[in-house]
Amino acid sequence: MTTKVGWISNSKDRNHPADRRRFGWFLSHFGSDIVVESANKGTLYDVLYVSISADLNYWSDINENFSLKSQKCWVVFDICDSLLTEPMYKSCLRPVLRSLQGHTFALRPYKATIIKMVKNADSIVCGSFEQKESLLRFNSNVHVIRDVFINDFQFSKETKFIKKEKTVDLLWEGFANGNGKIFRMLSDILAGISKDFLEKEIVLHLVTDKKICKFSHYLCQETYIHLKEIFKNHDIKIMIYEWSGETLFKLSSIIDVALIPVPNDPVMLNKPENKLILFWYLKIPVICSSTPSYNRVMREADLLNYCIEGTSWRSQIKKLVLSNNTEDSYKKKIDYYISNSFSSKIVMKTWENVFKGSKLYDE
């Protein structure tokens, strides 16, 4: 018998990283007879998968949402961002922003809507064990799901890698929007770094968006112009690439160190470790800010020295770049950690637990 699945994804084409690396990956490995469609309001499904980008004021409303009314429908809420930790003023402004994007408006802080969705769902998907602890207050069926990156980097043996020059190649990856603070942190971290490598050129590679906007999709400018101003007093070459798996894969052949600075913002500090694991999957050494999830993973991999507090970024970059033994030791540790903690078999078993009790896994 066919199982009907409704999915409210983060992007219409389901190509958002949180779509293709999470529920999209699970569906591609699920062998049962299922039909998946973009969930329509007023339609009943056997399984409803609700992403954080959904119109949560509608989908969390039992009176409006048929699936929440039905005991036969299994509702999963994927809350991959720690929005419950954001300041109250932002939580009060967010419903206005969402309504401008076409979502149902409700006169309450967005945190209250998220909690309502968490309470009404049958199971919850989140990104880290730290986030799980906070969600267990509202729902006892919470699962930490790892992002899977393999579908981002499927290329042939003929893929041409970038030739390594006499450079120190550093990498940052992510969305430009909302990350202005991170770009300024990178500027502070790399101030004066050329003095540590007198015979080499420092190149900062940024895999991101072509434009950066100050407010949603408004007040935008070219990312290169924005960064040129931030790094105007630095002796550093800036290279900007539009995000693609192929670009990131090619860059991995020359990158010495990837950097993950995190601003002192509750939502940012409580993000899961996905970006760290992405770089490790590509065998790139990482230096990152000290956050709960990064601390945990670095400790588990015996690499806690590279989870930075204070101003020791430059010394750790220098140490990794100039010592082949240090780099080799780092890469051996991440190979071991990834193979033992992030195999497809392990991730698939976690997904099975998410849907245990639904029509996908009728016993």
Across 23-27, 133-137, 211-215, 236-240, least confident range = 211-215
Q: Where do the domains of the chain lie, and which CATH numbers do they carry?
A: 3-148+343-354 (3.40.50), 151-340 (3.40.50.2000)
- What does the pLDDT read at residue 344? 85
pLDDT in tens, 82-108: 888 888 888 888 878 888 877 888 888
pLDDT in tens, 130-182: 999 999 999 999 999 989 887 787 665 666 677 788 899 999 999 877 788 89
- What does the pLDDT read at residue 155? 60
Q: Among the ranges 175-179, 239-243, 249-253, 287-291, which has the highest mean pLDDT value?
A: 287-291
Could you write out the three-class secondary structure of the chain? CCEEEEEECCCCCCCCHHHHHHHHHHHHCCCCCEEEEECCCCCCCCEEEEECCCCHHHHCCCCCCHHHHCCCCEEEEECCCCHHHCCHHHHHHHHHHHHHCCCCCCCCCHHHHHHHHHHHCCEEEECCHHHHHHHCCCCCCEEECCCCCHHHCCCCCCCCCCCCCCEEEEEEECCCCCCHHHHHHHHHHHCCHHHHCCCCEEEEEEEECCEEEEECCEEEEEHHHHHHHHCCCCCCEEEEEECCHHHHHHHCCCCCEEEECCCCCHHHHCCCCHHHHHHHHCCCCEEEECCHHHHHHHHHCCCHHHEECCCCHHHHHHHHHHCHHHHHHHHHHHHHHHHHHCCHHHHHHHHHHHCECCCCECC
